[in-house]
Amino acid sequence: MSDPLPYVLVLFYSRSGATRAMAEQFVAGIESQSGISARLRTVPPVSRTCEAVDPEIPEEGAIYATLDDLRHCTGLALGSPTRFGNMAAPMKYFIDSTSELWMNGALIDKPATAFTSTSSPHGGQESTLLSMLLPLLHQGMVYAGVPYSETELFDTVGGGTPYGASHLAGTASDRPLDDIERKLCQAQGRRLARLALALDAMRRQR
């Protein structure tokens, strides 16, 4: 039997939809490359009461990620809204459940990137992206920011940073992705897919 198609895991948390819209653009960019697919997954919200239980399958949208989704990916795009200049607790909670992958080196030499959405233009996109990079480095992943060959980085009046794709959603969270933000998400998805295939080949040669 032939190997299943390698996939990039697009793992996001989103409450009002902005980060989910970015995740969908990443999927489009990844799936524009042949030989690789995208797997879109989310994480459940965390509750103030520690024993609250939600259905295992959300009522709509992407299904919840499992550790196996992460274990077997060839690349990772990690998306979270900015919460006080940092990633949202549900994403951090999921990341904090990945010790077993860390102990087994399951993510070493796999490419990763991060994306975020904020309500205000200087509300912490870059600090959030940098905070999301930290656990990925601990896992041995190879972080890919957005290179300035994506010249929209010079022109954007919304989101878009060299640390990862971003989106300015506005105070009412109702500003849709603009053309530049969409293009940067797709470009980063394509780049991640290419890096995933290249690093996958490298790991197989060992």
Q: Point out which residues bind ligand FMN (CB under 6 A).
A: 14-20, 81-85, 117-120, 123-124, 169, 173
**Complex with ligand FMN: residue 12 or 111, whichever CB lies closer:** 12
Determine contact, residues 24/61, Cβ cutoff 8 Å: no
Residue nearest to ligand FMN (CB): 123
**Complex with ligand FMN: residue 6 or 44, whichever CB lies closer:** 44
Smallest distance, ligand FMN to C-beta of residue 11, A: 13
Smallest distance, ligand FMN to C-beta of residue 1, A: 38
Smallest distance, ligand FMN to C-beta of residue 54, A: 17
What is the Cα–Cα distance from 38 to 59, expressed in whole angstroms?
Answer: 21
**Complex with ligand FMN: residue 84 or 148, whichever CB lies closer:** 84
What is the Cα–Cα distance from 18 to 33, expressed in whole angstroms?
Answer: 24
Q: Radius of gyration (Cα) for the chain, nearest Å?
A: 16
* Integer angstrom CA distances of residue 31 from 38, 39, 40, 115, 190: 6, 10, 11, 18, 8
Which residue in this structure is represented by tokens 């697009």?
10
Smallest distance, ligand FMN to C-beta of residue 146, A: 18
